[in-house]
Amino acid sequence: MGKYTRIEDLEVIRGMGRGLGNIKKSFDGLENLKGKYDEDFGNNDLREKFEDFVDNWKLSRSELTEEIDALSNIAKAAAEAYEDIDQQLADAIRGTQESKKSKRG
């Protein structure tokens, strides 16, 4: 017997899409730390290293946000596509069964 997608699986896929969307929103809401702690660093080298980290994190976060958003959209679209195909197949089966009934009757 072949494997098939169950409704529970579609809910998991939809949940993944929503969860990834929430992660993206969290990433979008993170504040920019550049210059925020300048006065807290007594050592200029340490401040510069922190600024480098902040710049790298901002770039990496931007890339991650784009990827997370894409994955979220893919998961949501996959669930919709599976559901649509399932509905089309069910409609086709019902149509075939109704056609057979009308030929018999």
According to the model, what pLDDT value does residue 35 have?
82
Examine the pLDDT at 1 and tell me if it is beyond 50: no
Pairwise CA distance, residues 102 & 91, whole Å: 16
- 16, 75 in Cβ contact below 8 A? yes
- 75, 13 in Cβ contact below 8 A? yes
At 31-57, the pLDDT tens digits run: 888 888 888 888 889 889 989 999 999
Examine the pLDDT at 93 and tell me if it is beyond 60: yes
Question: How does residue 105 score in pLDDT terms, banded at 50, 70 and 90?
Answer: low
- 82, 5 in Cβ contact below 8 A? yes
**Reported pTM:** 0.67
Q: Residue 104's closest CA among 96, 11, 69?
A: 96
